[in-house]
Chains A and B, each alone.
Chain A
């Protein structure tokens, strides 16, 4: 993987977030579990990057590990630099100062992610009181502005409400207001729309995009929903069993997926027009494996339609995809011994 030119060399500004060789291992009662293995990732200023994969492929663990939000049973190796500052192994006070101010989070379930016994205004104000040393009154005043900013109507009344008095979409807007209160450089949105109605999802994604456009916030969107990726991301990273298996510009990935896992994900998602009529959506057989240690093999080999003996004997490195066509603005890399090459996105029949 190290042979690959890092993608950030293609953009002008240095990355705000630079993740190198990140690995996360959990100690459990039955032994250790490797959740993330050798992940390299960078976020340019104002860039929206999506991490996509099935449940259990390590995308959320990656996100949580960035600001050290994992439980004590997690061991994090590698490097996470936020505006040049190393966060892996940093002191708790350093992490606290960064959290909420430079790197902020939005979680999947806005009902359980908000404290049920505090007003939403108070919860937004808290961040400002800690990081910007505002008084409680000033912070509440700012909270009203922030709620209005993320599109909550009659924000002045809403600050006095408790989470259970708001709808799911409004709660997620509160989460966003809380996350962007101190204008963080990096916003990590872990399944930000998964728990919401489809009609509400679009509104939330609009808010995120608007924040990027207005404040130049870099956003890392973690999702299993390719629709969200297509809607909002500039680049996409596909993870499988704790490793990055492919990354590319969004359009490129949708047109020419190289990894068979990425191709499988695409044909498992409904797309208007593509599967019109009688075709069933294609599923990927099997489940994401739980690994005690990362093997020197392709972890997708068991489920892959193109697997050969080589796939089970050596792990493929993440390398530029063998494509004749121009790669576009973003490098297209894949970790596969038998990439799909110039073949277009699979049809249903091809996988069936």
Chain B
């Protein structure tokens, strides 16, 4: 297990460095010059040169990259070209919003998706399955920006049940915080829950027809134990994989959802930064996103070994 962990850590580090290079070059391949954006009205060559010098944009790309990397390793992600604030402090305010939104969305998606998937599999061929399937189809095919707009229109503007936009940090009021986040989290979670539901349903159907489920029934276990302890636990291996893969989509989905609900999270930070050619911010955002992907993948792998003891053995052997 230790060898496996070390190898995974090394792979993760390599991925991270590669992601950084790609982002660094990608940002600079964008059309547009940050110096021009910053200079505003004063577009004299002298002013532009001063700006470029100030932000190190006059250096060669390898030098710029090296400075970015060494500073990043020391926790210094640079200064925003747009706001003049340290990027790290901008991340510190934006990250918790997105993190909370994503976690809530995942929680909602897993509860709804696994629940509906199990019901659809167990009640196969009965009305409950049709309802679950129909909802899943809706969840998959309705784009969530549209769903978000509809929700704002009917649940916020028309009835005032939920705030239409804005954010209150947990530190100020937990109730207010949740009140602001529930709607966007549900909207963000629906698409994912539909995917999870489809996956849970099909792997549950497989699991329910296995020999060991028949054994569990032959033991006289209650349906709840047969379904939960025996069938579902085996199905979760597939479900965890899907959730892990879908989390990437969730992060990009969060960008759109945050924009619609006016949440000051990562998505908003990213979009603003891209429009302003705010190199340090874009780089930092992608760095954090890439790191979170890597962390998520790592977590998924660890989850496997918790759910499926057979994975533990393979991990030891190789």
Contact = CB atoms under 8 A, between A and B. Distances in A.
Interface string B57-68: 000000000000
A116 B308 contact: yes
Given A162-B309, A164-B313, A130 B219 contact: yes
Interface residues of A, number: 29
A99 B218 contact: yes
B214 A130 contact: no
A115 B215 contact: yes
Nearest to A105: B218
Contact of A69 (B214, B233, B309, B310): B214
A126 B221 contact: yes
Contacts, number: 78
A28 to B, nearest CB: 14
A100 B214 contact: no
23 contacts: A69-B214, A69-B218, A98-B220, A99-B217, A99-B218, A100-B219, A100-B221, A104-B219, A107-B218, A109-B211, A112-B211, A113-B214, A114-B215, A116-B234, A116-B308, A116-B310, A126-B219, A126-B221, A126-B229, A130-B222, A130-B225, A164-B309, A164-B310
Given A109-B211, A162-B310, A117 B220 contact: no
A117 B308 contact: yes
A8 B220 CA distance: 28
Contact of A100 (B220, B229, B309): B220
B200 to A, nearest CB: 16
Contacts of A104: 218-219
Contacts of B10: none
B50 interface: no
A126 B233 contact: no
Contacts of B216: 115, 126
A175 B214 CA distance: 13
Contacts of B234: 115-117
Interface in B255-290: none
B302 to A, nearest CB: 16
Interface string A114-149: 111110000000110011000000000000000000
Nearest to A71: B209
A99 B230 CA distance: 17
